[in-house]
Amino acid sequence: MFNAVRDLPRLREISSVLIRYGLGDLVRGTGIATLLERAGQILQWGEAKDVAHLEPPQRVRLAFEALGPTFVKLGQMLSTREDLLPPAWTTELARLHSDVPPVPFDELLPQLEEALGRSPFEVFVDLEREPYAAASIAQVHRAKLTNGTPVILKIRRPGIEAKIDADLRILAYLARLVEREIVEARLYQPVQVVDQLRRSLARELDLAVEARNMERFARNFADDPDILVPHVYWAWTSTVMNVQEEITGIRGNDLAAIDAAGLDRAELAARGADAVLKMILVDGFFHADPHPGNVMYLPGNRIALIDFGMVGRLSPGRRSQIIDLLTGLARHDEQAMLDVFLDWRGSDAVDESRLAADLGELAFDFADVPLKDLRVGVLLHRVSAILRDHAIVLPADLTLLFKALISLEGLGRQYDPEFRLIARVKPFLDRAMSERYQPVEAIRRGQSTFSDVLGLVTSMPRDLARLIKDLRQGRMRVELDLKRLDSFGARLDSAIDRGTIGVMTASLVIGSSIVMTVPGGPTLFGVSLLSMFGLAGYVVAFVNSLWIILSIWRSGRN
């Protein structure tokens, strides 16, 4: 939960960075400036002249890089959301990187000793104090086990969890504020985006989760000698550190070394693509960031996958939707594609006829494209554009899938200019469609459907009895969730109050005018009491008029 006092220093730091990169309007629009001014914090609103020539997406990227790991991860996640953001933004945010200096090893020692129960130098041999690699959340050190086995230690940066927690609290508060106050921003679902970011960072902060991911991938590829996954040493793995086998090979981005070693680039591209497609369409559990830095190549054109902090999961139902979408596109079946899109839209209204027309146009545009010229990246960009045009939010688990496929195609083309990902996809689709109509699978689906129908029928009398009982006892309720209803009620009460006082003021003016025109009547010290009452009525009416004018002026400002 956001706490203004506790999180104020970080909130001021975030505001200062945004202002420095020319995003002061964002600070004002979200209400951060008002909050800081009430707290007595001073903001320097000077113009950011050094970035004034940059486009907004570039300024946002630079600001996110300056704000640290939470915002870098947020930007990287948004770079996959072409269903929410236009290509200019996603392309720029995809360039996000986090160049951070390594933490001195002495600062890592306390948490290492706590995790291991003793000094790491008693557990490992030749433990290198200089990091082998450093990132925003963790850094890597090389060492050896006592039996001489080379390992790497992936160690979480100390204090990073508290900073990320503060950032997430602030982002959650701002997301709720923006979604409540800015109608146009609701299309981008800021609360859902922050919630997705929280879950992603929670998994990346727990290095034991990454170790479990590695073991699952190792089981999935146990029968494939060409795909390697590092072994995990659980005896020394914990939340703050995982210890894994060190794999020595050629980095995926070192093309010169790949050629010098005599490896076959085309074979590497094909094997890598088949491995990722198996993860997606068969296992439903895939490496979500297959870029060259997360791949190593070994003799015999073997491939080793590393860094499993970002993974994606697809349920059987979601895999079935992906197969239906790709098959519908291949067969120019717009109805099949429409059914998938309607499943993704949830409960939101959509113009089905216009959506069907757009999908028909998509199928027509790709109908005559030769397989060798069809790019999955271009296809996914078109699908994302249709989603964005119809305000359909892509399910969160599919954003990582789209990112993985686009990264995979780029990696394959880097090794082999003739690489066509769609050609590698087709055998998997044919296999999936064939299995779908096998007798065993048909019987399994039939049993599942029969169980659902039977469950519905058997539970219906009980549910109906409960409904009637609640109705008889007056406990039946209809809940309406209307946004900003409380605010509307308060404004309605205020308007009624002003109207009532206005009527009373008009009555006082009319009554006082009548009283002051009546001759005679009692006097006090020679002054007519009727005239005094009339004058008092005018004074009260004048004060009421001032109050109504001030109230209307204040409500206009709010």
Averaged over successive runs of 10 residues, the pLDDT of the chain (558 residues) comes to 62 76 64 55 55 80 84 81 77 74 90 91 93 86 93 92 87 82 72 84 89 94 93 93 92 89 92 90 86 87 88 86 81 83 77 88 77 73 84 78 81 84 81 72 61 69 76 66 57 69 73 68 61 71 74 62
* Tokens linked to 372: 């060798």
| Predicted local confidence at residue 488, as pLDDT | 58
Q: Which residues, other chains included, contact 120 with Cβ-Cβ below 8 Å and sequence gap of 6+?
A: 109, 112, 113, 127, 143, 153
Are 73 and 84 in contact, with CB atoms under 8 Å apart?
no
| Predicted local confidence at residue 300, as pLDDT | 93
* Tokens linked to 185: 């921003």
Count the neighbouring beta carbons within 10 Å of the beta carbon of residue 439: 7
What DSSP string runs through 362-373? Answer: HHHHHHT--GGG
Which DSSP symbol is given to 188?
A: G
| Predicted local confidence at residue 361, as pLDDT | 87
| Predicted local confidence at residue 290, as pLDDT | 77
Give the closest residue to 412 by CA, choosing from 397, 400, 425. 425
Count the neighbouring beta carbons within 10 Å of the beta carbon of residue 420: 21
Catalytic residues: 289
Nearest 5°: the CA angle 103, 16, 176 is 95
> How far are the Cα atoms of 123, 295, 346, 389 from residue 187, in angstroms, in the given order?
53, 37, 14, 11
Nearest 5°: the CA angle 3, 7, 11 is 120
* Tokens linked to 325: 């979408």
Asked whether the CA dihedral 281, 90, 69, 169 is positive or negative, the reply is negative
Q: Long-range contacts for 516-522 (Cβ within 8 Å, ≥24 apart)?
A: none
Is the whole-model pTM more than 0.85? Answer: no
**Strand 302-305 versus strand 227-228 pairing type:** parallel
> How far are the Cα atoms of 215, 222, 473 from residue 315, in angstroms, in the given order?
19, 22, 42
